[in-house]
């Protein structure tokens, strides 16, 4: 892993080729291998496959997009959210912070369309954040993430809406890594922009 992006050797019957993904997160490796398997079955050359995997980028600017201002790094993953993508984003957050040495801030909003399991799923994400070593969990618009206890020493914060959540920026330090993620309807792309603007103004 380099800067949160996976690097690996792709091996097929044709040989071995280095791949360096542009997409954030270890979970992207499984997606890449699935695409490689399908392409290999279609007779596409190993060189072409590895080149395509190494240059593929996200289709949306709000899907695992990195934003940086001075020494603050923000992962803008506000395009959508479900339990699986939340878990992957949290692990990517921790991985990036391990490389940089700063604190981790997971600023999370509601996951929609979960039905009767909604509270349980939000609680599970809260536990996961604590268990994998997230330093700060900032819950916006719901307290469900905060109602679960994990194994870590995570500090928990709550804000009722996006406007008030921007205040958390005053607690950031240079080198910190921030994740902003919620279902699309929550409008967290606005929060991501406001956080970066507030951080820039504070410098």
Which pLDDT score is estimated for 40? 81
Which pLDDT score is estimated for 30? 79
Q: What is the pLDDT of residues 144-172, one digit of tens each?
A: 999 766 666 899 999 999 999 999 999 99
Which pLDDT score is estimated for 152? 67
Say whether both 90 and 161 belong to one domain: yes
Which pLDDT score is estimated for 164? 96
Q: What SS3 state is found at 147?
A: helix
Q: What does DSSP say about strands 136-140 and 155-159: parallel, antiparallel, or unpaired?
A: parallel
Which pLDDT score is estimated for 19? 82
* Cα gap 66→62, rounded to integer Å: 9
Say whether both 111 and 168 belong to one domain: yes
Number of H helices, E strands in the chain: 6, 8
Say whether both 69 and 125 belong to one domain: yes
Domain hosting 20: range is 5-55
Q: What does DSSP say about strands 72-77 and 65-69: parallel, antiparallel, or unpaired?
A: antiparallel
Which pLDDT score is estimated for 64? 64
Say whether both 87 and 160 belong to one domain: yes
Counting the structural domains of the chain, the total is 2
Which pLDDT score is estimated for 149? 67
Longest dimension (CA), the chain: 56
Closest-CA residue to 6 (of 41, 40, 33): 33
Say whether both 39 and 87 belong to one domain: no
Give residue 113's region: left, alpha or beta (phi > 0; psi -120 to 50). left
Is residue 60 assigned to a domain?
no
* Residues lower than pLDDT 50 in the chain: 62
* Cα gap 158→156, rounded to integer Å: 7
Which pLDDT score is estimated for 61? 57
CATH number where 129 lies: 3.90.190.20
49 Cβ contact partners less than 8 Å away, ≥ 6 residues apart: 10, 12, 17, 35, 36, 39, 40
12 bridge partner residues: 15
Say whether both 172 and 123 belong to one domain: yes
Burial 69-92 (b: 16+ CB within 10 A, else e): eeebbbbbbbbbbebebbbbbbbb
Say whether both 71 and 35 belong to one domain: no
Q: Which two tokens stand for residue 114?
A: 């979960």
Backbone phi and psi for residue 6, each to the nearest 5 degrees, phi listed first: -80, 140
Say whether both 48 and 106 belong to one domain: no
Which pLDDT score is estimated for 101? 87
Contact assessment for residue 191 and residue 140, using Cβ atoms and an 8 Å cutoff: yes
* C-alpha dist (Å) from residue 117 to 34, 120, 122, 123, 141: 29, 5, 9, 10, 18
């Amino acid at each position: 892993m380099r800067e949160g992006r996976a690097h690996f050797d792709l091996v097929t019957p044709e040989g071995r080729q280095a791949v360096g993904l542009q997409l954030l997160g270890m979970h992207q490796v499984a997606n890449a291998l699935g695409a490689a398997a399908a392409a290999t079955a279609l007779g596409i050359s190993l060189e072409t496959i590895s080149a395509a995997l190494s240059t593929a980028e996200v289709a949306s600017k709000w899907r695992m997009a990195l934003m940086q201002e001075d020494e603050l790094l923000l992962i803008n993953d506000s395009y959508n959210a479900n339990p699986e993508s939340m878990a992957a984003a949290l692990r990517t957050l921790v991985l990036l912070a391990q490389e940089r040495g700063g604190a981790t801030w997971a600023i999370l909003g509601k996951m929609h369309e979960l039905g009767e399991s909604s509270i349980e799923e939000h609680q599970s994400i809260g536990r996961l954040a604590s268990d994998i070593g997230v330093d700060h969990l900032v819950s916006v618009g719901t307290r469900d993430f905060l109602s679960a206890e994990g194994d870590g020493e995570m500090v928990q914060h709550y804000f009722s809406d996006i406007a008030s959540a921007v205040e958390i920026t005053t607690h950031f330090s240079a080198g910190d890594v921030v994740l902003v993620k919620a279902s699309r309807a929550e409008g967290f792309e606005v929060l991501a922009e406001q956080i970066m603007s507030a951080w820039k103004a504070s410098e």
